[in-house]
Structure 1
């Protein structure tokens, strides 16, 4: 029995020693890690910009990059000087369209048709920078057919417009100037100068007392652009999305007395130059030039591209976030899905 008890004690002591050694190791490792963080903060400092560069990549095939969505970033747009001369912005009267590859034979259904848009300003001078946002469509009015095209800003004053041939016949490629770079820059700039282009007000009401307070999703921006010193955090009442209102000044009203939100005049006065005001009122003009393209079909019985075989209920819709191509097209006035088999009865 004495020998057995001695062995048990040895076993217990061994367990205790092992636990102590493990604790010392963990403490030492934590201490070394903490020491490393204090001595080498540059690792954390350089890591963040690397993430930013990757996030704002200009790779057209990268869904996390700005060029995938054919947009310019806020920090780039804010570097653009305010518009002072309308004729220095993109002019659809002087800009031109051209085929990248000349074909003496008709395109076939399923082919990609790529054209080049060369931008010029109101003086007829070639634009050498990017930032204008264009929209491209291919359409045949007789067939009541149309489809969006993929537009890529080449950042040198030219834009590539790629359309897919979904149906046969002669169609036209049309390009619209959705937003000139000056207006994109204006939209970004205005949002740094005013709280919002249309203010939202929260109504706080209790018994015979009521008060309107300005609201905004960004609490820092709200305090910066108002004289509020206290805010009501209404995020929990907005399905978890950030939302803040100024705290009512009336002592009879509390944050929980918030009843509804609304918007009303007067709207904030926007600081626009005459040039910017002119461009905003111009709307979204269409390039005067159009390119006609002839699309044939080896199988005369088929008038449109072959329909997909996979039902839409089984299609992985997350794939759509990885592609810039059109998800469908109109033909005979009806929408046709490109990636899956289905139909829309009403739209």
Structure 2
């Protein structure tokens, strides 16, 4: 049996999947557009404290930006507190555990990673590439010791990248970054020497060797991949119908259960709300509750291994060719999309 909380365009949900991979429960916790989730599991109390981002009624109306805390024990979910995030916090894509009671925020709109405290607000901000607005499309954070691995989705004719950052107290410093052979990527998690991420643009979940920065396995999915968690033995990836932004609250979603050693699919479970038998919408983030989520805490990762990736050489010619292809193909794809949309409008 494995319990999850997951955030979608329509709400925040609790789900229980049995050892036979059958969905036993899927309950709406709160309505509205939700994204980032971070968890802390208390072994002594056998309960999980989560913080989840709620933007507002829907993705287009993120006017109620809040960090909401819940306590989950077994199947009982209780709201504990809520904190308002001011305008400068932008549109949050992910939370991650920080020192003390603080947390790191992937502040996508402000192109930054923020260190935020519920009583003090934003303590520190690391702005990528000097841009104050969304350029790198910062969307995922993985904490490991004093290191943060940050997924840069990237918007300006660039492949997705992992930025390796170090934090000391309230200071956050970028040490370097490496390129991924994919675009439109989300999520970061590490088990041993393998880094896992969702290559959402190609509907894949990928494992990459951190010692060589080369792909170990690529698992091709049928639908859009976003959201990822792990209990240390298995990897769970969110998968959803790819849809226009306005339709993502009404789409189908699944969790894919993956063997991280072979990157073979053990099973796929569709999430459908138990009470109303309705679709839950596109998964933005998924976390394990009732036990430690090692992709949230970084407990199965060596910070020195992540730190050393900034010195691993990469094939710069291959990266340049990829950037050329992204730069030439994206305008063509946008033109075709506009033509199709114009034809449908008629």
**Would you say same fold, with TM above 0.5?**
no
TM-score in terms of structure 2 length: 0.20
TM-score in terms of structure 1 length: 0.20
Which has the higher relative contact order, 1 or 2, with Cα contacts under 8 A spaced 6 or more apart?
A: 1
Which structure dedicates a bigger proportion of its chain to strand? 2
- Greater Rg, structure 1 or structure 2? 1
